[in-house]
């Protein structure tokens, strides 16, 4: 097993995750089997309890692991399926060591950070790196390990120490360290400054880690003399200094690395030049090139709670991009803060109210993503109602499905107080209820999580056709509430069709997909299809939304005879994503403004 460790210095938010994913992709393109591990030095056991507003979205894996969003980048770039153990946190490591101590495994010894925590980290990495993640058997060739945070952070110290020992333990030919750093340009003189990189490498060395390759983030390519200077001061050969300068979209990053022969440098360190081939990136290149040429717009109104931070809905955005690119359209995401659609805002902030409704009405399609808590729920219900009544294409995900059912119960069944017990525990008409197996007292990992099967109960429906007329699908879940099975009969009689359920026969009581048959495209799903969308394999339901938003659903459905046609018949390329905000929102996507920028300070 060969290991590539990616660390970051100078500032956070340099795009370390994208860099590490791109390195993985490049090595995969050379014919190697690649896996990845993300280390998050925070104390939380997993990302499940972390606010998307603070930390970006919680990514959900097949096994129900609630993990850092970077694992989403790895799965999308490398088309792999990771497990919860591929995301290491301080919380997980300490928990495993404390469990061992309580079992008496340390035989009376004093349990310490060195060697017990550091050993646990190394054992964890070695164990997880061996797990095949590409659907084939046998262990992968290379494991890319990304160390979150910035060199020098107090909480990452045990990991640095462990990785230093690890590099020694696995041997020089099996360990390659890539350090991502920043080379800023001072506007006054326009000079590329190397000092921050020098300091950061010095700090890394001081901690016992020696970088083999430096990837320098900068607005433009590093000048030759600057490269020489970095090389001399950091003791890294000039050919191993790579510049990651601003590009139109992130799908260019692997190409930037390839153009500067980063793969050769890595393969040389790992003594893999004999085993690996030339990188085959044709499909990737054609996507990256086509992306810039898209011009026909499609506007999707995203009605959410966290519209101020695009990372909160990262996978939904990616899935929208994958689908719109496949459909040959340039995506515009119109952020609509859900609470701005509510009557209360009309009085308090009429401008925001007007702007929100203008965006919603002007969009070609509406998407209500998942969410928790009651802020903005009424606005989401109004958005679903608007889409339903005005025949606007609608996709509701998880909470988005639940609020669509609430609207239907209120508006069509006339049950004015219909609600989810999440928002009104005493409602007389609970159309969405708490699931019996959930826990109201323990927050971490207690939801219905991960991959679950959905069986189609109606074959002649849009979702079944989009999924290639399969009898069942496996998608990822993350919820505590569900549609009240006791109200399904009434809802169906009034015209709502529950086309997908969790069981095969009529006894299945959990609703997974809901549709309005006489609407151009009105689909709600209890699962999160965004987590399995890939650049080359867009999610069928997102594809349906985009096609319907362009008035081309019939064509799309026609070509969906089988799942294979859906997936292979698509032209995929990334595209520029433009944002129009109802109220100005800061969209950082975890990177400083201008990094991999499309002109709006946002990258994809
Ligand atoms: N809050 C809802 C539930 O727990 C929806 C969750 C979600 O959208 N992920 O069921």
Cite the beta strand spans of 275-408 per DSSP E: 297-304, 330-337, 365-368, 394-397
DSSP 525: E
Supply 396's token pair: 């509701």
Q: Which atom of ligand 1 is nearest to the CA of 478?
A: 9
Where do we find the tokens 């980290």?
A: 121
Q: Which atom of ligand 1 is nearest to the CA of 400?
A: 8
The 3-state DSSP class for residue 347 equals helix
CA of 372 to the centre of ligand 1 (A): 6
CA of 479 to the centre of ligand 1 (A): 4
CB 130, CB 139: distance < 8 Å:
yes
Q: Looking at residues 39-60, what average pLDDT do you find?
A: 84
Site to substitute for ligand 1 among 481, 482, 528, 530, most atoms within 8 A of C-beta: 481
pLDDT (tens digit per residue) in 475-491: 999 999 999 999 999 99
Q: Which of 161, 512, 515, 530 is catalytic?
A: 530
Q: Looking at residues 539-551, what average pLDDT do you find?
A: 97
Nearest to 531 by CA among 131, 78, 58: 58
Q: What is the pLDDT of residue 556?
A: 83
> What is Dmax (Cα atoms) for the chain?
76
Rg of the chain in Å (alpha carbons): 25
Q: Is 422 a catalytic residue?
A: no
* pLDDT range class, residue 308, cuts 50, 70, 90: low
Q: What is the pLDDT of residue 576?
A: 41
pLDDT (tens digit per residue) in 236-251: 999 999 999 888 788 8
Distance CA 406, CA 514 (A): 12
Mean pLDDT over the full length of the chain: 88
Q: Is 528 a catalytic residue?
A: yes
Nearest to 403 by CA among 383, 389, 426: 383
Supply 257's token pair: 């690395």
CA quadruple 568, 571, 575, 580: dihedral sign: negative
Residues lining ligand 1, CB < 6 A? 370-372, 398-399, 422, 478-481
Q: Which of 116, 179, 457, 528 is catalytic?
A: 528
pLDDT (tens digit per residue) in 205-221: 999 999 999 999 988 88
Does residue 293 carry a pLDDT above 90?
Answer: no
CA of 478 to the centre of ligand 1 (A): 7
Q: Which atom of ligand 1 is nearest to the CA of 370?
A: 8
Q: What are phi and psi of 147, to 5 degrees?
A: -95, 115
pLDDT (tens digit per residue) in 121-131: 999 999 999 99
Q: What is the pLDDT of residue 580?
A: 52
Does residue 565 carry a pLDDT above 60?
Answer: no
Distance CA 89, CA 444 (A): 14
pLDDT (tens digit per residue) in 137-196: 999 999 999 999 888 889 999 999 999 999 999 999 999 999 999 999 887 778 888 899
Question: Whole-model pTM?
Answer: 0.90
Does residue 380 carry a pLDDT above 60?
Answer: yes
Distance CA 315, CA 522 (A): 21
Site to substitute for ligand 1 among 398, 430, 435, 511, most atoms within 8 A of C-beta: 398
Q: Which of 176, 291, 398, 461 is catalytic?
A: 398
Site to substitute for ligand 1 among 48, 64, 371, most atoms within 8 A of C-beta: 371
Distance CA 384, CA 381 (A): 5
Atom 5 of ligand 1, nearest CA residue? 399
Q: Looking at residues 38-56, what average pLDDT do you find?
A: 83
Q: Is 348 a catalytic residue?
A: no
How do strand 365-368 and strand 511-515 relate by DSSP bridges? Answer: unpaired
């Amino acid at each position: 097993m060969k290991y590539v460790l990616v660390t970051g210095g100078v500032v956070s938010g340099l795009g370390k995750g994208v860099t590490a994913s791109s390195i993985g992709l490049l090595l995969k393109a050379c014919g190697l089997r690649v896996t990845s591990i993300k280390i998050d030095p925070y104390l939380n056991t997993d990302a499940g309890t972390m606010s998307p507003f603070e930390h970006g979205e919680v990514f959900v894996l097949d096994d129900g692991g609630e993990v850092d969003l970077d694992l989403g980048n790895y799965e999308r770039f490398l088309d792999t399926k990771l497990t919860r153990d591929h995301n290491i946190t301080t919380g997980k490591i300490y928990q495993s060591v404390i469990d061992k101590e309580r079992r008496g495994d340390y035989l009376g010894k004093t349990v310490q950070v060195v060697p017990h925590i550091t050993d646990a980290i190394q054992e964890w990495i070695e164990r997880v790196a061996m797990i095949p993640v590409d659907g084939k058997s046998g262990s992968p060739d290379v494991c890319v390990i990304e160390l979150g945070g910035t060199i020098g952070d107090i909480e990452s110290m045990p990991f640095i120490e462990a990785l230093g020992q690890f590099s020694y333990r696995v041997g020089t030919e099996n360990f390659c360290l890539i350090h991502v750093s920043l080379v800023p340009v001072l506007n006054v003189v326009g000079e590329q400054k190397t000092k921050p990189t020098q300091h950061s490498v010095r700090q890394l060395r001081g901690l016992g880690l020696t970088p083999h390759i430096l990837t320098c983030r900068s607005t433009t390519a590093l000048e030759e003399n600057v490269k020489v200077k970095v090389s001399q001061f950091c003791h890294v050969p000039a050919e191993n200094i790579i510049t990651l300068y601003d590009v139109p979209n992130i799908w260019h990053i692997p190409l930037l690395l390839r153009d500067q022969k980063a793969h050769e440098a890595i393969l040389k360190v790992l003594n893999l030049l004999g085993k690996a081939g030339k990188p085959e990136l044709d499909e990737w290149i054609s996507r990256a090139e086509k992306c810039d040429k898209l011009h026909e717009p499609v506007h999707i109104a995203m009605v959410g709670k966290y519209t101020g931070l695009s990372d909160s809905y990262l996978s939904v955005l990616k899935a929208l991009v994958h689908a719109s690119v496949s459909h040959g359209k340039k995506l515009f995401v119109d952020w609509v803060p859900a609470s701005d659609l509510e009557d209360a805002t009309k009085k308090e902030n009429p401008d925001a109210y007007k702007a929100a409704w203008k965006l919603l009405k002007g969009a070609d399609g509406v998407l209500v993503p998942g969410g928790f808590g009651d802020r903005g729920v009424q606005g989401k219900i109004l958005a679903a109602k608007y889409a339903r009544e005005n025949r606007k294409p609608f996709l509701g995900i998880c909470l988005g499905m639940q609020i669509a059912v609430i609207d239907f119960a209120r508006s069509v069944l006339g049950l004015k107080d219909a609600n989810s017990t999440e928002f009104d525990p005493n409602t007389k008409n609970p159309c969405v209820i708490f699931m019996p197996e959930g826990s109201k007292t323990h927050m971490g990992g207690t939801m219905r999580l991960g991959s679950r099967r959905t069986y189609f109960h109606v074959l002649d429906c849009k979702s079944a056709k989009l999924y290639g007329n399969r009898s069942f699908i496996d998608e990822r879940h993350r919820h505590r509430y569900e549609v009240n099975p006791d109200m399904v009969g009434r809802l169906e009689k009034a015209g709502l069709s529950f086309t997908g359920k969790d069981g095969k026969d009529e006894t299945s009581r959990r609703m997974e997909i809901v549709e309005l048959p006489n609407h151009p495209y009105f689909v709600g799903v209890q699962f999160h299809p965004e987590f399995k969308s890939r650049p080359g394999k867009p999610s069928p339901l997102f594809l349906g939304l985009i096609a319907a938003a362009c008035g081309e659903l019939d064509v799309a459905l026609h070509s969906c005879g089988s799942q294979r046609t859906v997936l292979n018949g698509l032209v995929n390329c990334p595209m520029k994503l433009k944002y129009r905000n109802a109220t100005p929102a800061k969209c950082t996507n975890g990177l400083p403004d201008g990094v991999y920028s499309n002109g709006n300070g946002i990258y994809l």
